[in-house]
Every structure is written in C-alpha cells, then in structure tokens.
Amino acid sequence: MLSNKEPELDDLIFLSALNHYIYCARRCALIHIEQLWSENLFTAEGRIMHDKVDTAKLEKRRDIRVEYGVPLRSLRLGLIGKADVVEFHRKGNCWHPFPVEYKRGKPKGDNCDKVQLCAQAMCLEEMINCTITEGALFYGTTRRREEGVFDTDLRKETEETAKRVHELINSGITPKPEYSKKCKSCSLLEVCMPKACGTTGKASAYLLKIGSVENIT
C-alpha cells in the first residue's frame, strides 16, 4: 500500500497476512486470495490459545492496565486486525502501549512473528498518535515471553512486507509451490499439494481438476 491515496476499507488486509507471507508467499496466497484454509493440531492449539486471550476481561494492576482483543487499523499501511493483548504501562503521568502477541509454538528462525507484532505497534501508533518502542511475543511451547524492540530495520521490513502482500493479493496470482521441510508442519499441506501441483500454481484449480476426473471415473 504505502501510497498517497487513502485505501478503502475493502482494501485493508489482515495483519496475520504479513506473518503468512514471510513464512511462505504461497501459503499467504492460498489463504488470502484463494480463501482456502485447513486446520491441523498446531493451528487448533493456536486458535484455542487466542480464544482464551480474546475472552479475557480488562485487568488493572498498580502501574499496568491490560486490554484484550484490541481492534487495530492502519490506513497508511493498509492493515486491519486485532491485538491479542495491549498492556498500558504507566510512567509518570503517561500510559505507554506495549503490544503482546500470543503464539502456540516457539520462536522461529525468521521474522514472521516479529513483523506481525511490529505491524500491530505501527497500527497503534497511527490510531492514538504515539510512539511505541517495544513489545513482546509469548510462546506457548516454551511458556516464555520474548521482548523485542521495534527498531528502524524491523519497521522497514514490516512496511516492505505490507507492500508486497498488497501487491500479491492485488495480482490475484498464487505463487508456484516450492517444497521444503517446513511444508510438513503447514496446515495447508493437503490443499497446497506442493509436490502434486508442480508448476500449475493455483491449488483450487488443481482440486477442481481432480474432482472432475473423479466424477468421470
């Protein structure tokens, strides 16, 4: 996005799409272009964790106020979504937002989770006109909270990823499959069929073709 033209609400993409794109551009296209989704054990556990967080109520402590399921939007980046948790830390007379994203697994080798969290922070900055310097990722497997800083490099990567996701979705083209070891844990393995689809690209077209063959036989 990142253009001078303010996007329509229909043009906004989900914050999670940035995470999907960094993990696998084809996965992102399958979900956000072809509207395909399949749940496995990992995604089910993640959904349950998010549901528990979303149904929690407002918490207040001495110098921290915790809000759950906070709606987010950035017209500049063309993003929309929801923060699992936003903590507001009191420093003097001011309350400073501190986003926290919950993940079922453990820290990954790429920046997909960090970019998603940074995007949440950038949405909050635009919405309430503030500067957010850090946030945290909580991983269910390790039961640890990993705090991180939203530095210049991460912000640039987040903006660039948002731009690329918009370009991908606007193109309507699903990238060709490239099988790798991370495909084994992907919930879309059976609908993506990275080995079977070959160079055809669209999984939905392949599924229709298979269905036609089965109907004939």
Fold of the domain spanning 9-174: Lambda Exonuclease; Chain A (3.90.320)
* Helix 152-171 × helix 25-32 angle, to 10°: 50
Q: Say which residues have a Cβ less than 8 Å from residue 199's Cβ, sequence separation at least 6.
A: 176
pLDDT 10s digit of each residue in the chain, 217 long?
Answer: 555 566 566 789 999 999 999 999 999 999 999 988 765 444 444 455 555 555 556 677 889 999 999 999 999 999 999 999 999 999 888 999 999 999 988 898 899 999 999 999 999 999 999 999 999 999 988 999 999 999 999 999 999 999 999 999 999 999 998 888 888 888 888 888 888 755 545 655 555 554 544 443 3
The answer to whether the Cα torsion of 186, 119, 69, 78 is positive or negative is: negative
